[in-house]
Amino acid sequence: MKAVCTVSGKDVIYRLSDFDPLYEEAFRMCFYEQDEEGYYKKFPLSYRYTGKVIRRFEKYAKEMFDQLLYRINVPWEEALECFCRRVKDSGISWWLTGSCATCIRGIALNPHDVDIIIESRDCALVEEIFADELIEPLRDTSGWVTKDFGVIFLKARIDIASDPSPQIDLPEPGDCGPEAISRLEVVEWRGYQIKVPPLELQIGVNKRRGRTERAEAIEAFLRKESLAVSSTKLSEPG
């Protein structure tokens, strides 16, 4: 796979070519567009960290897409722990969603990236802290389901999104929208207090996406927890 960047007018073009067709699934997943030369994505040349994201993309694009397709190991725990350490005491308001939010509760899944939600007011600070790890600019999406979106590559891909839209919860609540925000729970993981959505929302999301095994794993975990709570109550002196 070739991953190169070119400049066209006021845009930087991320270009992917000479790839195994198996990668196309990952390219489409990441919203790359296709033309006769391969797949591409455009970003404003005026972005203040343009030089850094170009170098990061050209160096790590293949590794990132290999991880997304599970062709190589995905060190999501290292990535998440490093993110936690770097933003600690920064004042950034953030929470974790997606499969990693399930995994840190002790439910074994197989994440291919880390999904972080922040507030748009913190975008500039996130960019500053992770300026050397940005692989896709954190930018306004102009009407997508989140206000801003960007990608950090910190041993594994970390998607950063801000201010999720209410449409995420239509027709049913998701695990990364306003409904999840209103019901966030706190899980302690490796010494960090991490906010995550309720497991009930994650069950629904996985069922709607056809991820039956994941939904069943979460349901089994909840049943086990419920039994443990019941056993504890029964053993308590009356």
Q: Is 112 helix (H, G, I), strand (E, B) or coil?
A: coil
Strand partners, 121: none
Cα gap 159→171, rounded to integer Å: 24
- Torsion angle, CA of 124/128/134/138, rounded to 10 degrees? 0
45 neighbors 10 (Cβ within 8 angstroms): yes
- Model pLDDT, residue 202: 97
Residue 147 has pLDDT above 90, yes or no: yes
d(CA 24, CA 216): 29
- Provide the 8-state DSSP code for 144: S
| Residues 129, 134: Cα–Cα separation, whole Å | 10
pLDDT, tens digit, for every residue of 59-104? 999 999 999 999 999 999 999 999 999 999 999 999 999 999 999 9
**How many residues does this entry show for the chain?**
238
Once rounded to an integer, what is the mean pLDDT over residues 216-235? 80
What is the CATH class of 75-238?
A: alpha beta
CATH 3.30.460.40, the chain: domain bounds: 75-238
Cα 234 to Cα 238: distance, rounded to the nearest angstrom: 9
CA distances from residue 27 to 4, 72, 152, 228 in whole angstroms, order as listed: 14, 16, 16, 43
What is the bridge-based pairing of β-strands 114-118 and 134-140?
unpaired
Helix (H/G/I), strand (E/B), else coil: 238 = coil
The pLDDT-based confidence of 229 (bands split at 50, 70, 90) is low
Q: Give dist(CA 74, CA 113) in Å, integer.
A: 7
**Is residue 231 pLDDT above 80, yes or no?**
no
Is 233 a residue whose pLDDT tops 80? no
Tell me the two tokens of residue 162. Answer: 């801000």
- Under 8 Å between Cβ of 175 and 197: yes
**CA nearest neighbour of 14 among 150, 161, 163, 154:** 150
Query: For a pLDDT cut of 70, what percent of the chain falls above it?
Result: 96
Question: What is residue 238's predicted lDDT score, i.e. its pLDDT?
Answer: 56
- CA dist list (Å): 88 to 2, 32, 64, 138, 222: 36, 33, 25, 20, 30
Single-letter amino acid code for the residue at 161: A
Note the pLDDT of residue 236: 64
Tell me what the mean pLDDT of segment 107-136 comes to. Answer: 97
pLDDT at residue number 227:
82
